[in-house]
């Protein structure tokens, strides 16, 4: 299979020395890329800035901003069988970026933000992706409900959700605990290292892809 994975955070510049970002380390996406390559698949890893080593055997495309990640995904998605969007992409970006460092003053400072393009939400309708679509959901409350809402709104085949408010898992940690949210049911995976969890997720994603491909073939046979 040809697999696209996004990972890490994005950075949205405020001025030449400051930016908006989030706590994502990229560890889960990188571990998943490594596991899929180890299973014999071709992986394109599109990553925001991290401190991680690029896994051996992956095609690597570094980006910084949400706009750059959207452009990289749009350019690559047409040749992909499975797309896994694990990156924590900024939802907002500054309307204006200062050309020089913003100086501190006594006056209040107001920052005007605008929405970034929704990469996962654009995959089907705007970018025409027809393969297996997997998204991640980092939540702090109502994990299942929010993940299932995301699954429906963004036309995913699977959402991998985790509660980042729990200590010891999620952003920056070497461990994670996830809930797999499918259209028909949920499956909870116990806490594990992100390396171990990546192998379980690889198996789940490949099994899902095979099932969806069988359904597509059967549907094609009925139509002919």
Residues belonging to the active site = 22
What does DSSP assign to residue 207? H
Give the pairing type, strands 42-47 and 186-193: unpaired
Beta bridge partners of 187: 180
Return the structure tokens found at 129: 């992706």
Give the residue carrying structure tokens 């028909």: 184
Residues in the chain: 224
Whether the Cβ atoms of residue 92 and residue 13 lie closer than 8 Å to each other: no
Contact between residue 206 and residue 39 where contact means Cβ atoms under 8 Å apart: yes
Residue with tokens 């697999």: 3
Work out the burial of residue 101: count CB atoms within 10 Å of its CB; fewer than 13 is exposed, 13-18 middle, 19 or more buried: exposed
Look up residue 54 and give its DSSP letter: P
- Assign 47 to helix, strand or coil: strand
Contact by Cβ (8 Å): 57, 43: yes
């Amino acid at each position: 299979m040809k697999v696209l994975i996004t990972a890490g955070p994005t950075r949205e510049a405020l001025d030449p020395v400051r930016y908006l970002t989030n706590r994502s380390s990229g560890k889960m996406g990188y571990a998943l890329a490594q596991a899929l390559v180890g299973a014999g698949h071709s992986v394109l890893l599109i990553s925001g800035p991290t401190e991680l080593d690029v896994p051996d055997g992956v095609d690597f495309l570094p980006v910084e901003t949400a706009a750059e990640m959207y452009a990289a995904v749009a350019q690559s998605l047409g040749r992909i069988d499975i797309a896994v969007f694990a990156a924590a992409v900024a939802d907002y970006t500054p309307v204006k970026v200062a050309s020089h460092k913003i100086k501190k003053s006594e006056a209040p400072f107001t920052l005007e933000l605008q929405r970034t393009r929704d990469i996962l939400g654009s995959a089907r309708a705007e970018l025409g992706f027809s393969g297996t679509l997997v998204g991640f959901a980092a939540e702090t409350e109502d994990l299942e409900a929010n993940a299932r809402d995301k699954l429906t709104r963004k036309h995913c085949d699977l959402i991998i959700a985790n509660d980042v408010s729990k200590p010891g898992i999620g952003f920056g940690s070497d461990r994670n605990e996830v809930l797999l949210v499918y259209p028909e049911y949920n499956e909870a995976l116990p806490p594990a290292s992100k390396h171990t969890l990546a192998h379980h997720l690889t198996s789940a994603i490949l099994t899902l892809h095979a099932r969806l491909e069988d359904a597509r073939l059967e549907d094609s046979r009925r139509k002919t």
